[in-house]
Amino acid sequence: MKRSVVVTIVSCCCLASLSAQADKPIVSSWEQVEEVDGITVYRRDVSGSPIVALRGEGIVNAPILRVASVIVDNKRAPEWVDSVAEVRTLRATGEAESVEWDHVKTPFVLKDRDFVFKSKLELLPQQKQMVLNYHSVSDPLAPVTGYVRGEFVYGKFVMTSIDNGRKTRVLAELMCDPKGSVASWLVNLFQKSWPYNTITSLRRQTQKRDIQENARLKVAMGQAYD
């Protein structure tokens, strides 16, 4: 099971842990950039990196099972994950953990990017949450391509069931380095719309009539989120 997110896609090391360790980059506080359509967008700087971390928060008018089912569905990721053209599961590494490969389309002046990353989904019944973390890894099953291999420094989706299970609060975070020779200011310019686009697209995707609930997730959740 997976973020897909790009795409979505979420890391075993979050920025909180980064700031807590002396040998890791120090991060600043989240700075609110804008609030549009009920989606709040934040950014923050990470010392030692010209790439900023991004966060978006908003409400999706769908139950948490439906939202999570969309996020872990690799086949439908290109329908809603920003710029994602293809997603593959390379191998499962646990019951809710896998290594994934994404192909991301870029503006015509740049080479396309691809990413190899590990994602892990965790259920937190007491908080009525599901959390998907992902971060880049090296893997022998990763395809050899002509794309530039980027890095998900970290990413995550936090889904919280609200309104008696009728809606889901979604928090999406990402710190992504596309690598290559792209200027950092241009990277930050292209990526700044990621939080808004991600939650807006997720809202649309969950309203499609042919979305199917993930059977394994449904069993795992049981009655915990009702």
> Regarding predicted confidence, which is higher, 51 or 153?
153
Domain presence at residue 28: yes
pLDDT value of position 16: 34
Spatial separation of the C-alpha atoms in residues 55 and 41, rounded to whole Å: 6
Compute the average pLDDT of residues 195-207. 96
DSSP 8-class letter at 182: -
pLDDT value of position 9: 28
Domains in the chain, number? 1
Domain presence at residue 130: yes
Structure-token match 């930050």, residue found? 188
**Residue 189, token pair as written in the block:** 């310019």
Q: How many CA atoms lie within 13 A of 131 on its CB side?
A: 14
Compute the average pLDDT of residues 195-208. 96
Q: How confident is the model at residue 21 (pLDDT cuts 50, 70, 90)?
A: very low
Spatial separation of the C-alpha atoms in residues 59 and 170, rounded to whole Å: 6
Spatial separation of the C-alpha atoms in residues 126 and 123, rounded to whole Å: 9
Spatial separation of the C-alpha atoms in residues 57 and 42, rounded to whole Å: 9
Beta strands 5-6 and 8-8 are: parallel
Domain presence at residue 148: yes
Can you give the pTM of this predicted structure?
Answer: 0.84
**Residue 88, token pair as written in the block:** 């593959």
Q: How confident is the model at residue 26 (pLDDT cuts 50, 70, 90)?
A: low
pLDDT value of position 1: 45
Domain presence at residue 226: no
Distance of CA 53 to the CA centre of its chain: 12
The CATH number linked to 94 is 3.30.530.20
Domain presence at residue 55: yes
Spatial separation of the C-alpha atoms in residues 52 and 184, rounded to whole Å: 9
Q: What is the dihedral of CA 212, 216, 219, 221, to 10 degrees?
A: -90
Q: pLDDT per residue over 4-14, tens digit each?
A: 333 332 333 33
Beta bridge partners of 35: 40
Query: 160, 64 in Cβ contact below 8 A?
Result: yes
Instruction: Give the range of the structural domain holding residue 33, as residue numbers without chain letter.
Output: 5-221
Least confident of 26-35, 159-168, 197-206: 26-35
Domain presence at residue 116: yes
The rounded mean pLDDT for the chain is 85
**Residue 222, token pair as written in the block:** 């049981």
